[in-house]
């Protein structure tokens, strides 16, 4: 059965981030022009001047996804699909105890695709990754300190469990209108900028010691035009010591410690890393200037001013409120507007599903949010759509926090979501037709079912205020779904969608507790699921949330009193 629950989208899943970091790079830290044919930067350069190109076409020395779809013309053109790396370092080890608990550290600069992760020209993104996974079957719950070449992390494990710690921080940016404009966002990541603060703290890539003198890390390569060059690697995928930590030679290690009173017990200490990375071969870069056959389509009309007293980035021309709206999440737009002119604001319980701030948690109190916030949502959920199997189709305009998902000012992101989860009774081809399009899935393992998420939106670690425009180019629109009984004129709206507080009426587009027929879909106003063995099932009702915006009205706990009469 499906577990229907909210999840936070991160770059790893992969959330499309929008923005540009132009002009904020340290002089020693830069990247090459986007290169034909793949459209990714020709290289990333560290503080020592070392330039690394995408490591491709050598399955032994490079880590990348080979082409599996013969019908994907773009993947076959560039010779890979899914993900590839400019730099990748991994360290592993076994912790004490009978369970053989394992620990994993991943550091990388990655190329992949955003949104639904489809390998399409125009979906290119890059980011820096820090990933830590630690089994805690034997070491148990508690506070752990992880030391690595680019910093340290304090992580609380809440249970003794396999993968008790599963931490990923992916930092980067993508511009859905111009992918090349935002590759700079990768420079804000742990590998490129330990501490992830401005100004950038440029640093070096990890490499094998004296890699340039190691003949095993060199190969002769002949290009299609007949030119032969020597290609240099900075390491290979076998464990070896490394150099490059900005914190000194003794930090070129992966160390796992657990708090024991005032002390830290060391559970793992290894200086062995596997390394993937190839030195950029000096050449004339043929720049890629256009992406995809068709530019992205703006599906929503716009968004409101960002709730800030001053811009996050000095000099930004993004519209802000100029003074904080009390109790409204800091750093988020006041509304999103669809093409019909309907403006919806972040909506908290009881008429919304956003997470209110916990006043006892300083980070939440300071930013006036518990993490996930929703301007709008529509969920079609059917238990036992086929005997014993569940199906859900969810749409949302969501605000949350990117990167490692921590509630830190600057991590704010927003995106439009399409999520489809179906327990599949058998293998075969399934088609889901819904208000904003249709999706076809080839299910080869019935027990895995369908678990699809496409998040398209905005977030830029350098200038988050400017990036909220990205959510306008997602799959949601041109209009938000509303109850069929909703009317934008509050005097004509369904009485069930009008709430009165202290004599003032507030208007909503639906109720999260009551399934109801909807209107506003681009193609239809229900969900049709077809599949093998004559599966043909329609879900007609949605639970819908969203509060109509009107600047000037106040705020009450759990209900944003912002509407348009």
Burial level of 251, CB count in 10 A (0-12/13-18/19+)? middle
67 close to 81: Cβ distance less than 8 angstroms: yes
pLDDT for 528 equals: 97
pLDDT for 294 equals: 75
Instruction: List pLDDT tens digits, range 288-314.
Output: 988 887 778 899 999 999 999 999 988
Between 388 and 133, where is the model more confident? 133
Share of the chain above pLDDT 90, in %: 72
Mean pLDDT of 386-411: 90
pLDDT for 226 equals: 85
Instruction: List pLDDT tens digits, range 227-237.
Output: 899 999 999 99
Q: How confident is the model at residue 487 (pLDDT cuts 50, 70, 90)?
A: very high
Instruction: List pLDDT tens digits, range 85-103.
Output: 999 999 999 999 999 999 9
Of 22-36, 54-68, 210-224, 405-419, least confident by mean pLDDT is 22-36
Answer whether residue 111 shows pLDDT above 50. yes
Q: From CA 457, how far away is CA 414, in angstroms rounded?
A: 5
Mean pLDDT across the chain: 88
Q: From CA 304, how far away is CA 327, in angstroms rounded?
A: 17
Which residues does 254 contact at the CB level (< 8 Å), separation at least 6? 91, 93, 103, 105, 146, 147, 148, 268, 269, 270, 271, 273
Mean pLDDT of 239-251: 95
Instruction: List pLDDT tens digits, range 4-24.
Output: 322 222 233 333 343 333 333
pLDDT for 163 equals: 64
Q: Which two tokens stand for residue 34?
A: 């986007």
Q: What is the 3-state secondary structure (H, E, C) of 298-309?
A: CCCCEECCECCC
Q: How confident is the model at residue 426 (pLDDT cuts 50, 70, 90)?
A: very high
Answer whether residue 47 shows pLDDT above 50. yes
Which residues does 418 contact at the CB level (< 8 Å), separation at least 6? 394, 395, 434, 436, 437, 439, 452, 453, 454, 474, 475, 476
pLDDT for 500 equals: 85
pTM: 0.78
pLDDT for 24 equals: 37
* Domain range list for the chain: 30-279, 302-560
DSSP label at residue 273: B
Instruction: List pLDDT tens digits, range 75-84.
Output: 999 999 989 9
Of 450, 357, 340, 452, give the one whose Cα is nearest residue 395.
Answer: 452
Mean pLDDT of 400-429: 91
Angle at 160 between CA 155 and CA 167, to 5 degrees: 30
Which residues does 552 contact at the CB level (< 8 Å), separation at least 6? none
């Amino acid at each position: 059965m499906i577990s229907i629950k909210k999840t936070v989208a991160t770059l790893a899943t992969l959330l499309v981030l929008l923005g540009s970091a132009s002009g904020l790079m340290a002089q020693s830290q830069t990247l090459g022009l986007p290169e034909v044919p793949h459209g990714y930067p020709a290289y990333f350069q560290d503080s020592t001047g070392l330039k690394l190109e995408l490591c491709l076409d050598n399955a032994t020395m490079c880590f990348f996804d080979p082409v599996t779809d013969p019908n994907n013309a773009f993947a076959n053109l560039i010779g890979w699909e899914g993900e590839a790396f400019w730099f990748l370092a991994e360290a592993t080890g076994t912790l004490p105890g009978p369970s053989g608990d394992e620990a994993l550290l991943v550091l990388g600069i990655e190329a992949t695709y955003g949104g639904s992760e489809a390998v399409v020209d125009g979906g290119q993104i890059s980011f820096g990754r820090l990933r830590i996974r630690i089994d805690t079957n034997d070491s148990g719950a508690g506070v752990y300190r992880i030391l690595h070449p680019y910093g340290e992390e304090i992580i609380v494990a809440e249970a003794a469990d396999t993968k008790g710690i599963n931490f990923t921080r992916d930092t980067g940016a993508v511009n859905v209108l111009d992918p090349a404009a935002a590759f700079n966002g990768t420079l804000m990541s742990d590998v490129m900028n330990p501490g992830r603060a401005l100004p950038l703290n440029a640093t070096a890539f990890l490499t094998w010691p004296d890699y340039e003198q190691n003949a095993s890390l060199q190969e002769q390569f002949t290009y299609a035009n007949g030119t032969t060059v020597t290609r240099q690697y900075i390491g290979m995928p076998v464990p070896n010591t490394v150099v490059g930590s900005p914190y000194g030679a003794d930090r070129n290690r992966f160390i796992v410690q657990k708090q024991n009173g005032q002390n830290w017990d060391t559970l793992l200490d290894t200086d062995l890393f596997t390394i993937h990375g190839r030195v950029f071969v000096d050449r004339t870069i043929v720049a890629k200037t256009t992406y995809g056959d068709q530019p992205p389509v703006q599906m929503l009309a716009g968004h409101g001013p960002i709730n800030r007293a001053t811009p996050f980035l000095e000099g930004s021309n993004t519209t802000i409120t100029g003074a904080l709206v009390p109790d409204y999440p800091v750093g988020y737009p006041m509304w999103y507007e669809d093409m019909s002119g309907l403006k919806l604001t972040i909506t908290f319980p009881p008429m919304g599903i956003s997470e209110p701030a916990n006043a006892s948690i300083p980070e939440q109190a300071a930013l006036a949010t518990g993490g996930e916030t929703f301007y709008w949502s529509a969920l079609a959920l059917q238990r036992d759509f086929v005997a014993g199997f569940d199906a859900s189709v969810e749409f949302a305009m969501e605000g949350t926090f990117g990167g490692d998902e921590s509630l830190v000012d600057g991590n704010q992101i927003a995106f439009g979501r399409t999520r489809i989860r179906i327990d599949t009774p058998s293998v075969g081809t399934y088609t889901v037709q819904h208000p904003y399009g249709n999706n076809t899935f080839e299910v080869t393992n019935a027990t895995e079912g369908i678990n699809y998420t496409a998040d398209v939106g905005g977030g830029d670690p350098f200038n988050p205020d400017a990036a909220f425009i990205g959510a306008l180019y997602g799959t949601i629109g041109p209009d938000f779904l509303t109850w069929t009984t909703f009317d934008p004129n509050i005097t004509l709206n369904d009485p069930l969608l009008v709430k009165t507080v202290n004599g003032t009426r507030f208007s909503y587009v639906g109720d999260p507790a009551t399934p109801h027929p909807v209107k506003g879909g681009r193609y239809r106003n229900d969900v049709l699921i077809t599949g093998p063995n004559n599966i043909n099932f329609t879900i007609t009702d949605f639970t819908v949330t969203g509060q109509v915006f009107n600047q000037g009205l106040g705020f009450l706990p759990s209900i944003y009193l912002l509407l348009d009469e």
